[in-house]
Structure 1
Amino acid sequence: MTTPEGEPPGLTALLYAATARLDAHFAACAGAIGLTASQANAVHELAEPLGMRELGRRMCCEPPNVTFVVDRLVERGLVERRPHPNDRRAKLIALTSEGAELRARLFAGLAVDPPLSGLPDADRRALRVLLDRALNDD
């Protein structure tokens, strides 16, 4: 990969290219199990019941979009709205048993030929350490 001027790309360009490959892989895995990328993102984040606001934060999504995605998942029987134990005005979003099974299928698909699988294990571990350090610079 080179820039139009023939120079090697900078770190930002490489990260964007890696992100694009990861996004494409995620979307393909979502499609293979009958979900849109946004629906799969929600299912991915629901390891535990979450409030709509927290789900939206994790999905990097605006509240109306989260509501739309959750409504479609409810219609399909993949998630349900539950009363919040500490706030009677709020709801928690939780996977149904069918949603949990689909989440497992999503993770299984994501593990097949992921975009960084061409790197040796040691390089992937090193990359993880470096990205973790860069993103958690507190």
Structure 2
Amino acid sequence: MAVPSVPASASTDLEQALFTFVDAYNQAWDAAASDHGLSTAQACVLGRVEHRRGMGELAEELRCDASNITQIVARLETRDLVHREPHPDDRRSRQIVRTPDGDKLYGDFEESFELPRTAAANLTAAEREQLTALLHKALGS
């Protein structure tokens, strides 16, 4: 589902610019995922399992139902991009980790997802530093 570039309620130049950037980012992410035969959600999960991650932890982090993570992981497993392992401290739970094929595909995906690098290249080093600080401040982090 496409998100509009600027919602009707965006009343300031800043809001419009933020929505435009987020929209461009999402479209570039979707295109890069598609170029590698991944759904947006699969690319997102694949990127977050470089190291062992619990399925519940992923669901919480991605703010989605655990059953969604289970389905995404099952599709990634079918392609041998991830596998499930028993949790070392709790055999009842499972953790997901990328396979070497998953590492390779995600590396290729990251290289093709150029928007952040392209956008940053339009700024000077000082502007990048300032934007980073302002985004952290805006997010309260």
Tell whether the structures are fold-level matches, with TM greater than 0.5: yes
Amino acid at match of 2:130: A
* 1:78 to 2:81 alignment: yes
> Does the aligned pair in 2 maintain the 1:33–1:106 contact within 8 Å?
yes
Shift of 1:2: 8.8
User: Is 1:132 equivalent to 2:105 in the alignment?
Assistant: no
Number of equivalent positions: 135
Work out the CA distance in 2 between the residues paired with 1:126 and 1:28: 29
Report the Cα distance in structure 2 between the residues aligned to 1:56 and 1:11, rounded to whole angstroms.
31
CA contact (8 A) 1:25 1:114 kept: no
1:48 aligned residue (46, 51, 58): 51
Q: What pairs with 1:1-138 in structure 2 (closer than 5 Å)?
A: 9-111=12-114, 114=117, 116-117=119-120, 119-121=122-124, 122-137=126-141
Farther off after superposition, 104-113 or 40-49: 104-113
TM-score (norm 2): 0.82
Deviation at 1:93, TM superposition (A): 0.4
Task: State the identity %.
Answer: 29
Q: Distance in 2 between matches of 1:8 and 1:88?
A: 52
Specify whether residues 94 and 115 from structure 1 end up closer, same or farther in structure 2 by C-alpha distance, changes over 3 A only. same
Structure 1 residue ranges without an equivalent (≥5) = none
Which AA in structure 2 matches 1:42?
V
- Runs of 5+ unmatched residues, structure 2: none
Deviation at 1:112, TM superposition (A): 6.1
Runs of 4+ residues deviating >4 angstroms: 1-4, 112-115
Q: Using a 3 Å threshold, how does the CA distance of structure 1 residues 135 and 113 change in structure 2: closer, same or farther?
A: closer
CA shift, 1:38, in A, is: 0.6
Measured after TM superposition, the shift of residue 33 of structure 1 is: 0.8
